[in-house]
Structure 1
Amino acid sequence: MKKYIFVTGGVCSSLGKGLASASLGTLLENRGFSVCMIKIDPYINVDAGTMSPYQHGEVYVTDDGAETDLDLGNYARFTHSPLSAAHSITTGQIYDAVIRKEREGKFLGKCVQVVPHITDEIKRRILSLGEKPEIEITIVEIGGTVGDIESIPYLEAVRQIIHEKGHGVALSVHLTLVPTVTGGEVKTKPTQHSVKEMREIGIQPDVLLCRCQEELPADLKRKISQFTNIDHDCVLSAHDVDTTIYEIPVVYHHQGMDEVVCRKLGLRSRKSKITNTWGRLADIHKNSKTTVNIAMVGKYIELADAYKSVDEALVHGAFANEVRLKLTKVDSEDIEQKIAAGETLDEFFAPYDGILIPGGFGSRGILGMVQTARFAREKKIPCFGICLGLQIMVIEYSRSILGLKDADSSEFRPEGNNSVISLLEEQVDVTAYGGTMRLGLSESHVNEGTHMFKAYGSTTIHERHRHRYEVSNSYREALSEAGLILSGTTPDGSLVESVEWPDHPWGVGVQFHPEFTSSPIKAGPLFKDFILHSLKNSGKK
């Protein structure tokens, strides 16, 4: 029989429901079960595509081009769950679907209400994925916090599923905060109230994850168990780890999370080998004597999650080279200010072994990125440009080598004379923004003898895209004649997919987003190669 696990959060947001859900998926996969991960976001946006990274963090893109919440990135890095547009559910999607049905007369004149029509649509989407023959366990993360008005329809749908399927089939996992107040005292009252709120909705949590700074003592677990009506061995400590997030599944395993879930759901499984695979990653972080220092020069530095997948892919590249990563994020506007003040960048970038220029939108901070690219090219520092980063590399090369001082992107200077980066003709008159970019997995052709070929070991690669602007074909010939290596194109050769600096140890820019397909067990080829060359640059390899 198909099994369902619903993960909710209480007290406050950003406690780590996504990592908890992904870690649980990892544990169950390691016991031989196939899992399906679903994220529910209560916001009214149809998807995350038009949301600011300052508010929502990065947008994660699936193979089919869905622009989704960053938690799907966690699912992809921790599990083998299929991920598509269907695995990201929002309030906007739910209400749009119900209203369309109402307009088409599919409710036969009934008064359309939250219960049962909205909740039925929520249940339909969850069950349609969970009932697929290849899926054994479906893990559904409910975004937001219990008590938020936006989450009520989803929690009601969860209550109905648990009631209809039974507790041996559907399980509630609740993540809540156990704060430490002034004086170091740990308080359980917020957790008690959070569970009480769940029970008032009609859901009795089966497993409780207590988010805390230090591992929760046994006496506090017993206290929480007594006041929440949850079995003692089902109250688990979700405490901070001092290595990487990839140790979290191991932490949960040592507390018996997978044993508890299997027992509650009546699952018989193989012995877990979680510590062999995931424990090794924590060992690399703890025991490696070599650290690679990378500077990321970007636009959205203030928010930690704005470049989440890039951050993690760099960690994966470090794992693959068995070294630790030290990542420093630099606001590109700071680079502009240093140059304007007459400072050189030699001293500033001296501590770093490699430089990465990530994606972004808008004109703010672009000059600082261009100045960074020029410094990395001239000083022969390994440099990795992703999406906007590739465009920056092309703009800089056009200005410095081609002599086109006004070379730019039509995104930043629409009326410019030398738009070496521009929109495709069919996109020029597009006025909408949501879902109008080049999105999802597509094939690229890589030239032999290039860094791209050496990294992937193939002339055919597949990576995911999320961008609107391309390298202008009007300048391709001039750029090639000036030495810029166009190392990758679309299969028909119509669009540039990657560029490389000539006479440089490792200067690679790609139009796609290789971070979306990287995982801690199998690092993205370009991230592995970038870290390797950064180590060589520092003399550590």
Structure 2
Amino acid sequence: MPVVQLPPLIGVTVDHHDAEPPSEATYTVRRNYVDALNEAGAAAILLPFDQAAVPRYAELCDGLLVTGSIPGHPGSTERQIFDKAMIRAVMDRERPVLGICNGLQMMGLVLGGRVVDVAAGPHGPDHAGDCVAERLAHGIRIADDGLLHRIGKSVGDKPGHSVNSLHRQALDRSGAYTVCAEADDKGVEAIELPGHPFALGVQWHPEYRLTALDRAILAAFVAACRPAREPTLHPD
């Protein structure tokens, strides 16, 4: 009987919308997060805000994708508590985690950093742009070593890359992480957790897959999730 290797299962955090009556409230996430993971060879599972289920989710998933939110809004208190708990649980198990935009900021908060408003922080207000993520907005410079450096070199050894931009808050440099990419104005564009197999946060949105770097980040993340477990399926 042939053995089929199953794709890694990646947990994807979600946002939610309140409603009246409360029974009509919804969880929501943009489809392109899931499409991007599928394209890179992973299966995705959406994670509702169930604090009691965090240990089970962390054991179930081979990796965690922490998604963005509405620019300038980190999400509800309930979401922030859940996202931070998931990040801690996955990092403690040394499973891969990728934070995107707000996801980077949640990773930074877990690691002792601070989030500041764009207008008052290291970024200029143009980083929010006109809230269109389907086009490139500015360049970044990647540090000369580390995880993101290796990913960047895989798509061409060049000093700078261009990214989209869709945020009104930014992470500072005070936490227990390495800043591995910055914008021309020195704003934090990516962080890594030293010593972790794969813990990367990016301030832009690679799920739109505008560049070779975007696709390489997603591919590297999915590849890192594969060794976590090697389940097999015996088809009938």
Instruction: Tell me by how many angstroms 1:456 deviates.
Output: 2.0
SS for the counterpart of 1:462 is: strand
In structure 1, the partner of 2:190 is: 498
Against the structure 1 CA distance between its residues 522 and 288, is the aligned structure 2 distance closer, same or farther, given a 3 Å change threshold? farther
2:37, 2:43 within 8 Å by CA — same for their partners in 1?
A: no
How many residue pairs match? The answer is 204
In structure 2, the partner of 1:512 is: 204
In the alignment, structure 1 residue 424 sits paired with structure 2 residue 149: no
Alpha-carbon deviations, 1:192-218, whole Å to 9, x = none?
xxxxxxxxxxxxxxxxxxxxxxxxxxx
The whole-number CA distance in structure 1 between the counterparts of 2:109 and 2:213 is: 32
In structure 2, the partner of 1:71 is: none
Instruction: Tell me by how many angstroms 1:348 deviates.
Output: 3.0
In structure 1, the partner of 2:11 is: 295
In structure 2, the partner of 1:467 is: 167
Against the structure 1 CA distance between its residues 351 and 489, is the aligned structure 2 distance closer, same or farther, given a 3 Å change threshold? same
In the alignment, structure 1 residue 334 sits paired with structure 2 residue 50: yes
Letter in 2 for 1:375: A
Letter in 2 for 1:529: A
The whole-number CA distance in structure 1 between the counterparts of 2:132 and 2:117 is: 11
In the alignment, structure 1 residue 316 sits paired with structure 2 residue 25: no
Letter in 2 for 1:296: V
In structure 2, the partner of 1:486 is: 179
2:129, 2:165 within 8 Å by CA — same for their partners in 1?
A: no
Against the structure 1 CA distance between its residues 392 and 288, is the aligned structure 2 distance closer, same or farther, given a 3 Å change threshold? same
Any residues of structure 2 matched to 1:334-483 within 5 Å, and which? 334-335=50-51, 338=52, 345-361=54-70, 362=73, 363-364=75-76, 365-398=79-112, 420-425=114-119, 440-441=135-136, 442-457=138-153, 458=157, 459-472=159-172, 476=173, 478-479=174-175, 482=176
Any residues of structure 2 matched to 1:34-433 within 5 Å, and which? 289-300=5-16, 302=26, 306-318=29-41, 325-331=42-48, 333-335=49-51, 338=52, 345-361=54-70, 362=73, 363-364=75-76, 365-398=79-112, 420-425=114-119
2:151, 2:213 within 8 Å by CA — same for their partners in 1?
A: no
In structure 1, the partner of 2:23 is: none
The whole-number CA distance in structure 2 between the counterparts of 1:496 and 1:328 is: 29
Instruction: Tell me by how many angstroms 1:466 deviates.
Output: 0.8
SS for the counterpart of 2:61 is: coil
Letter in 1 for 2:207: E
SS for the counterpart of 1:367 is: helix
The whole-number CA distance in structure 2 between the counterparts of 1:499 and 1:327 is: 23
In structure 1, the partner of 2:222 is: 531
SS for the counterpart of 2:184 is: coil
Give 1 or 2: higher helix fraction.
1
The whole-number CA distance in structure 2 between the counterparts of 1:387 and 1:288 is: 35
2:63, 2:95 within 8 Å by CA — same for their partners in 1?
A: yes
TM-score (norm. length: structure 2): 0.76
Instruction: Tell me by how many angstroms 1:465 deviates.
Output: 1.2
Alpha-carbon deviations, 1:6-32, whole Å to 9, x = none?
xxxxxxxxxxxxxxxxxxxxxxxxxxx
Instruction: Tell me by how many angstroms 1:317 deviates.
Output: 1.2
- RMSD after superposition: 2.9
Against the structure 1 CA distance between its residues 518 and 435, is the aligned structure 2 distance closer, same or farther, given a 3 Å change threshold? closer
- Structure 1 gaps of 5+ residues are 1-286, 319-324, 399-406, 408-419, 428-433
The whole-number CA distance in structure 2 between the counterparts of 1:464 and 1:496 is: 14
Letter in 1 for 2:147: H
Instruction: Tell me by how many angstroms 1:294 deviates.
Output: 0.8
TM-score (norm. length: structure 1): 0.35
2:16, 2:27 within 8 Å by CA — same for their partners in 1?
A: yes
2:152, 2:213 within 8 Å by CA — same for their partners in 1?
A: no
Instruction: Tell me by how many angstroms 1:288 deviates.
Output: 5.8
Structure possessing the higher relative contact order (Cα contacts under 8 Å, 6 or more residues apart): 2
The whole-number CA distance in structure 1 between the counterparts of 2:5 and 2:230 is: 14
Against the structure 1 CA distance between its residues 539 and 501, is the aligned structure 2 distance closer, same or farther, given a 3 Å change threshold? farther
SS for the counterpart of 1:524 is: helix
- Structure 2 gaps of 5+ residues are 18-25, 122-127, 232-236
Letter in 2 for 1:351: L
| Higher CA-based Rg | 1
